[in-house]
Amino acid sequence: MRRTLFTLILGLALTAGCAALPDGEMGAAIEKTMSGAHRSEANRARDVYRHPRETLQFFGLKPDMKVVEIWPGVGWYSEILAPVLRERGEYYAAQFYLDETATPNMVAGSRSYEKMLAGRPAFYDRVRLTSFMPPRYLEIAPPGSADLVLTFRNVHNWAAAGSDEAAFRAFYDALKPGGTLGVVEHRAAPGTSREQMIRIGYLTETYVIALAEKAGFRLAGRSEINANPRDTKNYPEGVWTLPPTYRLGDQDRAKYAAIGESDRMTLKFLKP
Protein backbone atom coordinates (compact mmCIF):
# COMPACT_ATOMS: atom_id res chain seq x y z
CA MET A 1 0.00 0.00 0.00
CA ARG A 2 2.82 2.40 0.94
CA ARG A 3 4.57 1.82 -2.40
CA THR A 4 1.33 2.32 -4.34
CA LEU A 5 0.60 5.58 -2.50
CA PHE A 6 4.13 6.87 -3.10
CA THR A 7 3.91 6.05 -6.82
CA LEU A 8 0.53 7.81 -7.09
CA ILE A 9 1.78 10.95 -5.33
CA LEU A 10 4.91 11.12 -7.46
CA GLY A 11 2.90 10.59 -10.64
CA LEU A 12 0.51 13.39 -9.74
CA ALA A 13 3.40 15.73 -8.93
CA LEU A 14 5.10 15.09 -12.25
CA THR A 15 1.93 15.11 -14.34
CA ALA A 16 0.79 18.40 -12.82
CA GLY A 17 3.91 20.18 -14.00
CA CYS A 18 4.56 18.17 -17.16
CA ALA A 19 7.64 19.41 -19.00
CA ALA A 20 7.63 22.83 -17.41
CA LEU A 21 8.13 22.00 -13.74
CA PRO A 22 9.80 24.95 -12.00
CA ASP A 23 13.10 24.19 -10.30
CA GLY A 24 11.47 24.09 -6.87
CA GLU A 25 8.86 21.57 -7.96
CA MET A 26 11.44 19.48 -9.82
CA GLY A 27 13.57 19.44 -6.69
CA ALA A 28 10.55 18.39 -4.63
CA ALA A 29 9.79 15.55 -7.04
CA ILE A 30 13.40 14.31 -6.81
CA GLU A 31 13.37 14.54 -3.01
CA LYS A 32 10.07 12.66 -2.83
CA THR A 33 11.68 9.87 -4.85
CA MET A 34 14.76 9.96 -2.63
CA SER A 35 12.56 9.36 0.41
CA GLY A 36 10.68 6.45 -1.17
CA ALA A 37 10.51 3.05 0.53
CA HIS A 38 12.14 1.43 -2.50
CA ARG A 39 15.56 2.91 -1.60
CA SER A 40 17.89 1.00 0.70
CA GLU A 41 19.18 2.54 3.92
CA ALA A 42 22.74 2.07 2.68
CA ASN A 43 22.00 4.13 -0.42
CA ARG A 44 20.23 6.85 1.55
CA ALA A 45 23.30 7.15 3.77
CA ARG A 46 25.36 8.20 0.73
CA ASP A 47 23.08 11.11 -0.19
CA VAL A 48 25.23 13.37 1.99
CA TYR A 49 28.19 12.69 -0.33
CA ARG A 50 26.45 12.36 -3.70
CA HIS A 51 23.89 15.20 -3.44
CA PRO A 52 21.46 13.72 -5.98
CA ARG A 53 18.86 16.48 -5.93
CA GLU A 54 21.35 19.29 -6.45
CA THR A 55 23.36 17.29 -8.98
CA LEU A 56 20.38 16.32 -11.14
CA GLN A 57 18.97 19.84 -11.05
CA PHE A 58 22.33 21.26 -12.09
CA PHE A 59 22.29 18.93 -15.08
CA GLY A 60 18.79 20.15 -15.96
CA LEU A 61 16.76 16.97 -15.38
CA LYS A 62 13.08 17.28 -16.38
CA PRO A 63 10.42 14.56 -16.07
CA ASP A 64 9.70 14.33 -19.82
CA MET A 65 13.33 13.87 -20.92
CA LYS A 66 14.96 10.89 -22.57
CA VAL A 67 17.85 10.22 -20.19
CA VAL A 68 20.72 7.74 -20.55
CA GLU A 69 22.76 6.72 -17.52
CA ILE A 70 26.08 5.11 -18.33
CA TRP A 71 27.08 2.07 -16.27
CA PRO A 72 24.47 2.36 -13.52
CA GLY A 73 26.25 -0.45 -11.64
CA VAL A 74 23.97 -1.80 -8.93
CA GLY A 75 21.49 1.05 -9.43
CA TRP A 76 22.21 3.85 -6.97
CA TYR A 77 21.01 6.61 -9.30
CA SER A 78 18.46 4.32 -10.97
CA GLU A 79 16.47 4.36 -7.74
CA ILE A 80 15.93 8.08 -8.35
CA LEU A 81 15.95 8.47 -12.12
CA ALA A 82 13.66 5.59 -13.07
CA PRO A 83 10.67 6.71 -10.93
CA VAL A 84 11.06 10.40 -11.82
CA LEU A 85 11.09 9.60 -15.55
CA ARG A 86 8.61 6.70 -15.52
CA GLU A 87 5.41 8.56 -16.43
CA ARG A 88 6.53 11.27 -18.82
CA GLY A 89 10.06 10.46 -19.94
CA GLU A 90 12.35 7.59 -20.87
CA TYR A 91 15.22 6.14 -18.88
CA TYR A 92 17.93 4.16 -20.64
CA ALA A 93 20.37 2.24 -18.45
CA ALA A 94 23.51 1.50 -20.48
CA GLN A 95 24.88 -1.34 -18.36
CA PHE A 96 28.16 -3.24 -18.69
CA TYR A 97 28.45 -5.46 -21.77
CA LEU A 98 29.31 -8.88 -20.40
CA ASP A 99 31.86 -10.13 -22.90
CA GLU A 100 35.24 -11.73 -22.17
CA THR A 101 36.64 -8.39 -20.97
CA ALA A 102 34.04 -7.96 -18.22
CA THR A 103 35.39 -8.22 -14.70
CA PRO A 104 33.77 -10.36 -11.97
CA ASN A 105 32.55 -7.13 -10.34
CA MET A 106 30.85 -6.10 -13.58
CA VAL A 107 29.14 -9.48 -13.87
CA ALA A 108 27.99 -9.44 -10.25
CA GLY A 109 26.82 -5.83 -10.54
CA SER A 110 24.82 -6.54 -13.68
CA ARG A 111 23.12 -9.56 -12.13
CA SER A 112 22.28 -7.57 -9.01
CA TYR A 113 20.92 -4.73 -11.13
CA GLU A 114 18.68 -7.02 -13.16
CA LYS A 115 17.36 -8.52 -9.90
CA MET A 116 16.60 -5.03 -8.56
CA LEU A 117 14.65 -4.10 -11.70
CA ALA A 118 12.66 -7.32 -11.69
CA GLY A 119 11.88 -7.07 -7.99
CA ARG A 120 10.07 -3.70 -8.12
CA PRO A 121 8.15 -3.38 -11.39
CA ALA A 122 6.11 -0.45 -10.04
CA PHE A 123 9.31 1.60 -10.27
CA TYR A 124 11.47 -0.12 -12.89
CA ASP A 125 9.20 -1.83 -15.42
CA ARG A 126 9.87 0.86 -18.05
CA VAL A 127 13.67 0.95 -17.75
CA ARG A 128 15.27 0.37 -21.16
CA LEU A 129 18.44 -1.69 -20.91
CA THR A 130 21.27 -1.20 -23.39
CA SER A 131 24.92 -2.27 -23.25
CA PHE A 132 28.09 -0.23 -23.24
CA MET A 133 31.71 -1.35 -23.37
CA PRO A 134 33.96 1.06 -25.26
CA PRO A 135 35.49 0.94 -27.77
CA ARG A 136 33.36 -1.90 -29.20
CA TYR A 137 29.80 -1.62 -27.86
CA LEU A 138 28.75 2.00 -28.11
CA GLU A 139 25.06 2.35 -29.02
CA ILE A 140 23.64 3.48 -25.68
CA ALA A 141 20.45 4.86 -27.27
CA PRO A 142 19.22 5.59 -30.80
CA PRO A 143 21.53 8.16 -32.42
CA GLY A 144 20.52 11.76 -31.85
CA SER A 145 17.65 10.86 -29.52
CA ALA A 146 18.72 11.63 -25.94
CA ASP A 147 18.14 14.87 -24.06
CA LEU A 148 20.58 14.04 -21.26
CA VAL A 149 23.45 11.56 -20.85
CA LEU A 150 24.81 11.04 -17.34
CA THR A 151 27.94 9.34 -16.07
CA PHE A 152 28.92 9.14 -12.42
CA ARG A 153 32.50 8.22 -11.40
CA ASN A 154 33.26 6.18 -14.52
CA VAL A 155 35.65 8.22 -16.65
CA HIS A 156 38.75 7.05 -14.78
CA ASN A 157 37.90 3.46 -15.75
CA TRP A 158 37.77 4.33 -19.44
CA ALA A 159 40.95 6.37 -19.14
CA ALA A 160 42.73 3.37 -17.63
CA ALA A 161 41.46 1.15 -20.45
CA GLY A 162 42.39 3.65 -23.16
CA SER A 163 38.76 3.87 -24.30
CA ASP A 164 37.77 7.26 -22.90
CA GLU A 165 37.77 9.05 -26.28
CA ALA A 166 35.49 6.38 -27.75
CA ALA A 167 33.16 6.72 -24.75
CA PHE A 168 32.75 10.47 -25.17
CA ARG A 169 32.12 10.08 -28.91
CA ALA A 170 29.33 7.63 -28.06
CA PHE A 171 27.76 10.15 -25.69
CA TYR A 172 27.92 12.82 -28.38
CA ASP A 173 26.33 10.53 -30.98
CA ALA A 174 23.43 9.58 -28.67
CA LEU A 175 22.47 13.16 -27.79
CA LYS A 176 20.21 15.49 -29.71
CA PRO A 177 21.64 18.82 -30.83
CA GLY A 178 21.36 21.00 -27.74
CA GLY A 179 21.45 17.93 -25.48
CA THR A 180 23.40 17.81 -22.23
CA LEU A 181 26.18 15.56 -20.97
CA GLY A 182 26.55 15.49 -17.17
CA VAL A 183 29.81 14.18 -15.71
CA VAL A 184 30.72 13.54 -12.08
CA GLU A 185 34.27 12.27 -11.55
CA HIS A 186 36.95 11.99 -8.87
CA ARG A 187 39.02 15.18 -9.14
CA ALA A 188 42.82 15.15 -9.22
CA ALA A 189 44.97 18.13 -8.33
CA PRO A 190 45.86 20.32 -11.33
CA GLY A 191 49.03 19.18 -13.06
CA THR A 192 48.72 15.51 -12.05
CA SER A 193 50.30 13.35 -14.76
CA ARG A 194 48.21 10.91 -16.76
CA GLU A 195 50.22 8.00 -15.36
CA GLN A 196 49.52 9.16 -11.81
CA MET A 197 45.84 9.75 -12.58
CA ILE A 198 45.45 6.19 -13.79
CA ARG A 199 47.17 4.87 -10.67
CA ILE A 200 45.13 6.82 -8.11
CA GLY A 201 41.74 6.92 -9.89
CA TYR A 202 41.43 10.72 -9.87
CA LEU A 203 41.38 12.80 -13.08
CA THR A 204 42.04 16.49 -13.54
CA GLU A 205 39.23 18.72 -14.72
CA THR A 206 41.48 19.80 -17.59
CA TYR A 207 41.76 16.19 -18.75
CA VAL A 208 38.00 15.55 -18.69
CA ILE A 209 37.13 18.84 -20.36
CA ALA A 210 39.64 18.14 -23.13
CA LEU A 211 38.05 14.72 -23.71
CA ALA A 212 34.60 16.25 -24.04
CA GLU A 213 35.74 19.08 -26.29
CA LYS A 214 37.59 16.67 -28.56
CA ALA A 215 34.32 14.76 -29.01
CA GLY A 216 32.58 18.02 -30.01
CA PHE A 217 31.04 19.17 -26.73
CA ARG A 218 31.08 22.68 -25.30
CA LEU A 219 31.59 23.24 -21.57
CA ALA A 220 28.40 24.80 -20.21
CA GLY A 221 29.00 24.87 -16.48
CA ARG A 222 30.89 23.64 -13.43
CA SER A 223 29.58 23.07 -9.93
CA GLU A 224 31.15 22.44 -6.52
CA ILE A 225 28.11 20.43 -5.39
CA ASN A 226 30.22 17.28 -4.97
CA ALA A 227 33.43 18.89 -3.72
CA ASN A 228 35.15 17.55 -0.58
CA PRO A 229 37.99 19.74 0.70
CA ARG A 230 38.95 17.08 3.27
CA ASP A 231 40.10 14.75 0.49
CA THR A 232 43.91 15.01 0.23
CA LYS A 233 44.07 12.48 -2.67
CA ASN A 234 47.28 10.83 -1.46
CA TYR A 235 46.32 7.41 -0.14
CA PRO A 236 47.97 3.97 -0.35
CA GLU A 237 45.24 2.57 -2.61
CA GLY A 238 44.25 5.76 -4.38
CA VAL A 239 40.62 6.83 -4.36
CA TRP A 240 39.59 3.27 -3.47
CA THR A 241 41.07 3.80 0.01
CA LEU A 242 38.09 6.04 0.85
CA PRO A 243 34.47 5.04 1.37
CA PRO A 244 32.52 3.36 -0.01
CA THR A 245 35.25 0.94 -1.15
CA TYR A 246 37.61 0.94 1.88
CA ARG A 247 40.19 -1.14 0.04
CA LEU A 248 42.42 -1.25 3.15
CA GLY A 249 39.65 -2.91 5.13
CA ASP A 250 39.77 -1.99 8.81
CA GLN A 251 43.18 -0.32 8.58
CA ASP A 252 42.69 3.37 9.52
CA ARG A 253 39.03 2.98 8.65
CA ALA A 254 37.86 5.65 11.09
CA LYS A 255 40.29 8.16 9.55
CA TYR A 256 39.03 7.51 6.03
CA ALA A 257 35.40 7.51 7.15
CA ALA A 258 35.98 10.98 8.66
CA ILE A 259 37.29 12.20 5.30
CA GLY A 260 34.23 10.82 3.52
CA GLU A 261 33.85 10.08 -0.17
CA SER A 262 36.14 11.63 -2.78
CA ASP A 263 36.38 15.22 -3.94
CA ARG A 264 34.50 15.30 -7.26
CA MET A 265 34.17 17.57 -10.24
CA THR A 266 30.65 18.14 -11.56
CA LEU A 267 30.72 19.26 -15.19
CA LYS A 268 27.93 20.07 -17.65
CA PHE A 269 28.54 19.96 -21.41
CA LEU A 270 26.29 20.80 -24.36
CA LYS A 271 26.17 19.26 -27.81
CA PRO A 272 25.99 22.24 -30.22
* 96-100, 162-166, 208-212, 242-246: least confident range: 96-100
pTM of model > 0.85? yes
Q: Which helix (H) or strand (E) holds 52?
A: helix 52-58
Q: How would residue 21 be classed by pLDDT, with cut points 50, 70 and 90?
A: low
Spatial distance between the Cα atoms of 271 and 176, rounded to a whole number of angstroms:
7
> Does position 14 have pLDDT exceeding 50, yes or no?
no
Query: Would you identify the CATH topology of the domain 2-270?
Result: Rossmann fold (3.40.50)
Q: Which helix (H) or strand (E) holds 19?
A: none
Encode pLDDT of 129-146 as tens digits: 999 999 999 999 999 999
Encode pLDDT of 199-226 as tens digits: 999 999 999 999 999 999 999 999 999 9
Per domain, the residue ranges of the chain are 2-270
> Does position 18 have pLDDT exceeding 80, yes or no?
no
Q: Which residues pair with 269 in a beta bridge?
A: 181, 219
Q: Is 132 exposed, middle or buried (0-12, 13-18, 19+ CB in 10 A)?
A: buried
Three-state SS annotation for 196-263: HHHHHCCECHHHHHHHHHHHCCEEEEEECCCCCCCCCCCCCCHHHHCCCCCCCCCCCHHHHHHHCCCC
Amino acid code (one letter) for 154: N
Quick check: 90 and 66 in contact, CB under 8 A?
yes
Pick the more confident residue, 7 or 243: 243
Quick check: 45 and 60 in contact, CB under 8 A?
no
List, as one string, the DSSP characters of 55-101.
Answer: HHHHTT--TT-EEEEE--TTTTTHHHHHHHHTTTSEEEEEEEP-STT
In eight-state DSSP terms, residue 137 is B
Encode pLDDT of 89-131 as tens digits: 999 999 999 888 888 989 999 999 999 999 999 999 999 999 9
Q: Strands of 66-70's sheet, edge to edge?
A: 128-132, 90-96, 66-70, 146-152, 175-186, 264-270, 218-223
Nearest to 188 by CA among 209, 214, 206, 213: 206
Question: What rounded mean pLDDT belongs to the chain?
Answer: 92
